[in-house]
Amino acid sequence: MTYYSGEHLSDRETSTQEFVRSLAKAELHIHLEGSVQPETLREIHPSLTLDEIRANFHYNGFAGFLKTYVWVTKQLHSPEAYALATRRLLESFERQNVSYAEVTLSAGVILWKQEKLEPVIEAIASEARNFPHIRVGWILDAIRQFGAEQAARVFAVARECRMLGVVAIGIGGDEERGPASWFELLYEQARAAGLGLTCHAGEVAGPASVWDALRIGAQRIGHGIRSLEDPNLLSFLRDRDIPLEVCPSSNVCTGAVPSLREHPIRKLWDAGVPVVLGTDDPALFHTDLLHEYTLAADIFGFSREELKQLAANSLLYRFPQRQ
Ligand code: ADE
Ligand code: ZN
């Protein structure tokens, strides 16, 4: 796992950081719940100690990570708690010079908690209006393994909340326990309603999972790193201009790839596949967007021109806005 501390950066890294900070860029793959820092959880639950919270932030492997993610989500017990999470996230975007973000809300987990979704969306959208320099679109995510009925409820709310800034729908969670085909009709209906379609796929499961996501109409793929195993899929993504939302630190922390050096981002890029960098769950992966760009430079050899292209991609592949 990579730990990031701004205090120990060498001069070269510092200047890369400054360069990256100066770039106009967007964050397109980030989960609100996964952005909540231990300190913010403590603001929400003063009775929890930071040590207790940090102990809960430890996990092993992808299944362990999903459990931790659900634990964090359970701590967000009110619309106000989600609003505070939003405020802290947008403050971090300000520090990183992120001017646009599409933030995913695990709406399926909110329904699973038997909480109402609309008040949460109203609260986070209202908080985001306090940051006029940052445009925010919301992506409502259903959880694959919870099935199509739960997803239908999530996507119905997404359609109703477009005026609050909901721009797209997605499916996350465990791709091995909820095939994309379950959601085919729902994706078609969401597309017809003008919502963007993204889909976590090819993160831990192989290329067939990415093909399944494309078959139901996904316009972007969350992660998609295992596309590298299928040359036809790489050509398809390149020719149809379908981007992968690639989150290197996430993939190492969840065990999706064994180490940063073995991460396929450079090969995907060299194959001409559109790539957008994201953080996924920055609080759980000890990262932020500046750090992911710095890794692109330092570990994967992205030149300044290529970093500029990555930043340009993040703005190019946004979902259309309605407001
Ligand atoms: N929800 C939050 N982070 C996720 C990830 N990396 N994969 C699937 N679902 C998620
Ligand atoms: Zn994700």
Distance in Å, CA 109 to ligand 2 centroid: 14
Distance CA 207, CA 226 (A): 6
Pocket test of ligand 1: the residue of 29, 36, 65, 66 to mutate, having most ligand atoms within 8 Å of its CB, is 66
Instruction: Give the model confidence (pLDDT) of 281-316 as tens digits.
Output: 999 999 999 999 999 999 999 999 999 999 999 999
Instruction: Give the model confidence (pLDDT) of 11-49 as tens digits.
Output: 565 699 999 999 999 999 999 999 999 999 999 999 999
Average pLDDT over residues 200-217: 98
Distance in Å, CA 49 to ligand 2 centroid: 27
Instruction: Give the model confidence (pLDDT) of 264-280 as tens digits.
Output: 999 999 999 999 999 99
Ligand nearest to the Cα of 280, by number: 2
Q: Are 201 and 218 in contact (CB under 8 A)?
A: yes
Percent of the chain with pLDDT over 90: 94
Strand ranges across the sheet with 275-277: 25-31, 98-105, 135-143, 166-172, 196-201, 220-223, 244-246, 275-277
**Residues within a 6 A CB radius of ligand 1:** 31, 34, 69, 172-173, 200, 203, 250, 254, 280-281
Confidence tier at 3 by pLDDT (50, 70, 90): very low
Distance in Å, CA 10 to ligand 2 centroid: 30
Domain ranges of the chain: 27-316
Distance in Å, CA 196 to ligand 1 centroid: 18
| Residue keyed to tokens 């017990």 | 77
Neighbours of ion ligand 2 (CB under 5 A): 280
Per-residue confidence (pLDDT) for residue 11, from 0 to 100:
58
Give the residue, by CA position, lying nearest to ligand 1 atom 2.
31
Ligand nearest to the Cα of 175, by number: 1
Handedness of CA 242, 179, 113, 37 (dihedral sign): negative
Distance in Å, CA 10 to ligand 1 centroid: 32
Per-residue confidence (pLDDT) for residue 322, from 0 to 100:
62
pLDDT for residue 6 is more than 50:
no
Q: Are 139 and 104 in contact (CB under 8 A)?
A: yes
Please provide the average confidence, as pLDDT, over all residues in the chain: 95
Q: What angle do CA 156, 209, 146 make, to 5 degrees?
A: 40
Please give the backbone phi and psi of residue 26, each rounded to the nearest 5 degrees, phi first.
Answer: -125, 155
Q: Where are the alpha helices (DSSP H) in the chain?
A: 11-22, 38-44, 50-56, 61-75, 79-96, 107-112, 117-128, 148-160, 184-192, 207-215, 231-239, 248-253, 265-270, 282-285, 289-298, 304-316
Per-residue confidence (pLDDT) for residue 321, from 0 to 100:
74
Told to judge if 203 belongs to the known catalytic residues of this protein, a careful annotator would answer: yes
Pocket test of ligand 1: the residue of 30, 69, 104, 292 to mutate, having most ligand atoms within 8 Å of its CB, is 69
* pTM, entire model: 0.95
Give the residue, by CA position, lying nearest to ligand 1 atom 8.
173
Active-site annotation holder among 27, 127, 203, 245 = 203
Q: What is the CATH number that goes with domain 27-316?
A: 3.20.20.140
Confidence tier at 2 by pLDDT (50, 70, 90): very low
pLDDT for residue 323 is more than 80:
no
Ligand nearest to the Cα of 245, by number: 2
pLDDT for residue 108 is more than 80:
yes
Per-residue confidence (pLDDT) for residue 281, from 0 to 100:
98
Average pLDDT over residues 226-243: 98
